[in-house]
Structure 1
Amino acid sequence: MDNKYENIVPWNGAQDTGRDVRLKLERNFAKIGLNFEELLIKLGDIDDLFAFVAEELEKKLSKDKPDSTDYLLRLLGGLEVGPFSPGALGSGAAIQINPLTGKSYLEVDELFVRMKAVFKELVIESLRHIGGELVLSPARMKCVRIEEQDDTYRCYFDRGGANESGRYEVEQEFTAGAQARCQVFTGSGQKYYWRLVTAVGDDYIDLSKTDCDTGSDLPESGDDICQLGHRSDESGMNAIVLSAYGPDAPSYKQYAYIDSYSLAGKEVSVTSPKGNRYVGDFILKTGVNIATELQILENLIKTEIQSVEYVLNETDNYLLNASFVKDMEGWVRDDDVQVLEAEELLQVNSEYLSDAARLAGVVTYDGKLWLRLKDSYVKQPNANLTQPAQSGKFYVSLRYICTGSGTLTCGFSGQGLYKTASIAINRTARMFEFSGNWDGTGDFLIRFTGDIHINLVTLTNRPLDDFKQEVDSAFTQMAGSIKAMVTSIDNINKTIRESGWLTTADGTKIWASACWPDGTKAISLFNVTPEGIFLNSSHINLKGIVTFESFAPDFQTAYEQAFGNASMTAKDDVARQLGYSNYAQLVENAATGGKAVLVGGYLNLELIDVDTLIAGKVLTNKVVTSLNGRRIEIDPETNSFKMFNENNDTVCEMTFIEQSDMPYLPRLRMRDYNKSHELVRTAYYGASGANIEDLIGGSGITLTQGSCRIYQLDSSRDCVLQPGSLSFYRDGKLYKKYE
């Protein structure tokens, strides 16, 4: 029988009409039909066929009831038992294979060996010294003897005695490529060296004479040597340092991706009285990632959100399909990468099989499309490039994540816009940028000798920062003040805009400002204090009735001198100087034309344009900093203060709590929207019955005096933390409590 079926890719690019999928399905089903016909010929009739199928099914392991087999069971992907969760506080059990190293890994809660167990010892403790520092790393040794070689220092360690199985008390832990470090901080025996391990033996390591950190001393017998970094093995690049010595002591530091003789930029977590820093995602129990930085300190609540985007259209980028959303359209792979059409299911959901040592293609990584290069290259032929109007200086940038260090070569060979650089392994995406002259000829090349993922490749005649749009919002509440501010920096349109408000015991300030490319600046400031209300703006637009109780004494005196006791003849003279036949025509035109009416103590204006406005009271329907888009509004009708984003969504609102016992308490509500204008988060400060309430997705957190509550909005799960207890509720009923 022919059991080789064609692999089917549901979507094969923008030009896929579905014909290829339909034809492959027809051919596969035709093979299945022929196989059944062949079985009928061999077995004789349909009863024999069903008996044969039943017999074959008996050979399969069951998924819905206990079963067993007397034969070897191969699980190529691994095995998980129970609800598996990794780590010291995890659950279940697992036997897994590391896809990068191919090494097996076993994780269980308890291990009981009835007869005998043989382990290769792994010591995670490496270095203790009189400076009060402990380094935890993958390898360590005590040097007992030194032999000088031509290019290295051979450092021996004592292996101890062998057990019954032939294993020694001390096993070799170092590997070639490791970075060995020895350091003594105080006393007469101060010493320091950090050298590359070039080779290892059963009871020695070879330390390079030349590949070492600047100022490295010579190794000696008696040295305590630990591993601190590795040149190529990612699992050997991490370390933990506990220190009671140094300017930030006592401290706990985690280092990752140490692949050189420098720890700069390698700290991922720091705990110290001088300051704490933690890098990584913080995930709630519900699985929601906290994308904002929330600090709750003594007398301080601070929330900051930042968004940075690079906005390029097709006319800005000279490259075609620079983000690889159209697979490899416009790009050419390395000629040496062997691509074979799969006749069998050689790789899940893939139509091609490539040499694992050399790869060049578009893959999904961390939920996004990336170009992956593994010891290979891609290039974009000159015919696919948008030709520049003239030769000159151009800029290249790309975002990358490197999983295997190597050398990156990018640009146009033989021209100024060409760069070669060494790229180390990195955990988070980084930018690679360079510039140079290009005359519009040649193919655009990206080559890498290690393993790298690339997206957002740009070739422009302007630096990447020219296309950056950055928006920052911050809310800070302290014991004596509340401040909210939004800042937008648009490098494309060369504008900077900012708006916000500040409330203290002395009053409230509301402001909005803008700066344009020609240097023009504008600012509007509304300041409410016990002494009065001060408004400063280049343009003030008041709609509705404006009532003034009184004017400033100087203005009142001047008005009375000019009009209060003036005769009609004098008023007519003033009106004629303004272009009217008499004073009555001036008043009528102002009233009917909607410009201005000033009669006695009554002032009716459509527009007030002044540098300073002093009034005992200002009554208006609404105060706004802009008629549309990003703005601030004060609405007397609802006694509220609101902030809007550029899509007219209410992102911040301050109102009074609507409850009979405390109607004077304020409440602050903040909302986050995504790019599709969908509400993704709501936070309350001073909420009814709570001091702070934060709702994200289907969950929320409420902080009140003396308690903290974390819950699902559908009331299916609830957790309440109080000074003396921790309670858990399910569907509104208490099911566990700790006191």
Structure 2
Amino acid sequence: MITIYGSDGTAKTQVPCDDNSTQAKELQGDNVLTLSFTLYEHVALEVNDYAEFMGERYWLMERYKPEQVSAQEWKYDVKLYGIESLLKRFLVLNDTDGADEPVFTLTAPPRGHVALIVRSINNGMDNTTDWKVGTVEGTDNIVIDYEGKYCDEALKEVAEKAGNRAEWWCEGQTVNVCRCEQGEEVTLGYGKGLTGLECDMADNAKFYTRLYPIGSSKNIDPEKYGHSRLQLPGGVKHVDVNVEKYGVWHHYEADAFSDIYPKRTGTVSSVRSEEVTDEDGNPFKIFYFKDNSLGFDPNSYEIGGKVKRVSFQEGSELAGLGDEEDGTYYFEANYNSDTHEFELITTWPYDDDTQLPNDTLCPKPGDKYILWNIRMPDEYYPLAEQEFKEAVDKYNEEHAIDVSRYKAPTDHVYIEENGIDLYVGRRVRLESDKYFPETGFRTSRITKVTRKVNLPSQMDVEICDATSTGAMETINDSITDAKSYVKTATSGSFPDLIRSWDNTYPTDNNVFSARRTLKEALSRLREDTAQERIHFLKGADFGSHKAGESGAGVDGDGNAEWLTAVIRELLRSVRFVDGMTGEGWQLWMDALTGLSNLTIDKVTIRQTLVALELLIQKVRSIGGQFVVSAASGKIKTVTKDGDNYRITFEQENEFVAHDLMRCAEFTGASLRGYWVEVSASDGEGVTVPVSEFGGVEPKEGDECVLMGNTQNRLRQNLISIAATEDGQPRVDVLDGVSGKNFDGCLRVRLGNLDGISDSRFPADNQPHGNGLYGDNVYLMGTFVLTTGEDILTRFEITEGKIEAAVEGLRKDFTEDRSYLDNASFGDGMNKWDTENEATFFLLGNKWIWANGAPLSDKTNYACVKTDDGRTTVYIRNKYILQKSGNFRFIPDYTDVNDEGQKKPEAVYLSFFYRVAKAGRLTIQFEGLDKTGFENFNEFSYDGELGVTDGYQVFNHSGLWNGTGDFKLAFTGEIYLYMLVLSTDRAEALAYKYKTLFEQSEKLVKIAAANFDKDGNVIESSSIITTAKYNEMMSQYFDEDGQLKNKAGLVTTAMANKLYAFDADGRIVSVIDQTASDIRISAANISLEGLVTANGNFKILEDGSIETNNAKLKGYLYSVFKPVEICDATNLGNNETTGNNEYKLNTNLFVDATFSGVVLPVSEEYEGARVLIMDSYFIKTRTIHSPTTVRTENGSAIISGLFAQTPTSMEFRADVLTLDAGVVELILKNDYIRDEATGEVSSGGLGWVLVNNTCQNLYWEYAGKRYAYRYNLSPYLLE
């Protein structure tokens, strides 16, 4: 059966394929899955529906309409295509800078071309990153003209131009361009996996036996050389290959040898440029370069009518630029024989006035170049002819291959019995003494496989060295004269990386990243953990194993040899049942007694048996009730002595005074017994008052047991084992029996609990049924609740220390970290969407009603159900979907790449599930939009889940960009709950909690840890308290179990320390506090709010500082801010000064060019220092508003710079006007002396001009205007 899935991953139908269903896969050809089947209902098959077969996915490329055979019968013959065929749908696009251009030319090594093609495939496959570049042959640049070229066409052209018999092929999601030969060689032949063998020739494969190689005409002067093209040594015209085997088949080849001609690769020694003008007076540059190693004058070797050309080689800025001829890019050049310089002829190849070469794209010293369109010195021609010959030999080696194709059907029985896997590219040793009489075999590879879907081992294979081309379109190799787009790519053939989150299938032609390798492989150098079983098929050795001498070993059959072995608890046979009627053997530690036990069938001891106590038991049965206590006995004699009975026993007397002795006997018809207190005791017997017996006489043969003591606390306990006919088997432990009753004495009961009444339990849920009842319960091992959850509770008492550890599966979680709403389904299906299918039962075209509703049968549906006490969502071949609008919240994506595209983030999904019927689980974000994001492999899951025994934990991670609707579908039957989707790995992956409480006379310790499904710690925290200190510590680990962050707090009576460590154990931040000081150390320290020191030093919330004094040993960096962008208050336009004014606040160093400054006058600014700049240093003819300064309250600005002179000028100013410079002012309390009395009084706050560097300074006071020119005396303007 083949399952066909919809494009969303939901199973549409399972189809019973007939024998006409096949898979056909051909190298460099199509990969087609043809399915023929009949369905008895119409199932619509849409574009991008898919099926999987033999590990490959096949898609439907067009909507399919089946043939209707009858009213209920539909016949399908549908073709689905593998990725090799899907490549025909995608053009190769130049997406540089978002161009999305299908017409361009690329010059790059083969790997650069394949990388571009793979990027186009990923873009076409919904912008994934799954497709990778594998092995690519060739490192030399090749030129391909992408003019509406599809990916399959482009890959074939890359393969042909890469050489080395390269082919393009896909393995999984890896694209390779190399010879398709893979896997270990398998031997096939008639009777050895093949039922027949025939031979023909590969379709349309290039084949020849006589090659006519055509040399290049570059640098060839026919008059000097005697030929118009380069010749092979000796003038050979053709070369034969296998003529004697196949006869004469001609082939002509010129393109493969076009780059071979007499040439010299020179090196640029120096470069210069010269600016000139053209005929219209427009300036441009001419570039010249020298080659000091050039040993001849090119002007002496000119070919008539041709202009010298220079082609710059890879590594130069001009490589691949210039004009183009037959795929070769060049610049025309002149050569100056006097200066020994080449002049590059300037061109304007673009649509603007950009010249080439230019200051950016120009030759540089060290650039390699080839000079052509000249005749070379004679010594270069024999070298070129020899290079031509070697190229012809290599060409024949790669192309003159045997094109014989061998077709054969397989013997499916032989293939299955020998476990042979045949696939395209598989190396084959094809044996036949008839076809290959010389050797008896031929080594080749499989190029095509056609197999039956119902019997995959039954197939037709084709084995050939060559590749048929009839199944694919022919590639046009001609190079057009379209404008080139040139991209320099890194050479090399290193395959692509499969990173930690990629879903790419690993092959021989891609590689794991370092972190993926650590995740997948076991380390041989450090301790490691395997998450799954490891199979050692041939056994394993430990240490230096030498049989019978050293080390240890286990062979493939399970036989082991050890030096010693420590078994902690158990050693047994495969099956063991204890007791006389049991089976097997076992050596174990008894959990109850702590004693070791051995049960076997037969023991032979050759020498001595030392047994400190030898107990030989016979099988016997005890009925009724059995009591274990400190005393018991069988009465031997009874003598009445006055008011007392004197009683002796058959064995030594074990009773003492005040013991409560009891006898109970059921004869079948009546119950006889007594419970009496012993008054006296000696070695012979006991004395009991007659009154104690209540009329019952003790008799010889009575079995008596101790059941309490009225005074001795140590003799008030007993154990009762009862298996009577009341149907209540039980084991009771009683303590505190001080009277003839058991009131309040039952400490523990194991077995049937019926009859126990305890007010500590609810009245409607008293102890009942079989179970365990006790004051305290200490359990070791596994404790399983009815919910299936495991809780391990362990109590140990050692050396006065009580330690308790509780470890269990997480049974609750908080939704505040999950993006999904109602993730616990506690609110039913609220926030979730699904669709249900139901079949309604009809009678006479009318619904059948039952219980007030139409009678129906649900087939496929999803709903909330209670399962084993859990609230779960049950899915039966359906899906649940939460739309993005119903998400609790969506993360912000702020990280961008170099191209300004956002980067997605990793999200983690976890939930509990139980599979009732196996099926396929698919999870995805439906409608995910990658617009604005870099290409990424979005979060998704697609895999089979088998039936589970109880609930399991599902964990998965991937990349998400916050778009799309969350959809989870399952084709079987599944219960699931507690969906956590989060970017917090610890929250999403933590499925096991462990808490620890430890207390002793020295310390108290509380700890907690979260683990992932593999038992690796994700995060942990602990608190430790001793008499000397308190410690709090938290740790976080990465996915490999390595510590990433650690932080904690330690407090003592003398000091406190808060610290944080990095992954390497280095302290990255610490706060160390003692009674006398505090130290803070970190790479970055952030203090929020008002910060003070001794009330004198303050850092305000806006970042400003207030302090009384400051001593700076370095420099003070103060920024002159433009007044319009600082924190000054904009007061608007002043009609008097004519400019926009700003009142200063905290920024006191300002550039106020063309603006007005208003100085604040208040006590908080007393002593403040202000610098005001006018930066209008370079004058223009444009009129601007001047820079002015005044006070907010109109008080005058005072300065000694205005000091009175012989002209009696004023030293006050109402308004200052600055011109090209800086003024410095200080706000001070101005003291004034009374002229009459001489008394000093305060004149209030006033601004003082203390410094001036302006070219000109103007001021006004009392209606007069003054001016001061730098280093000159003040003067009156008017």
Normalising by structure 2, we get a TM-score of 0.18
Normalising by structure 1, we get a TM-score of 0.29
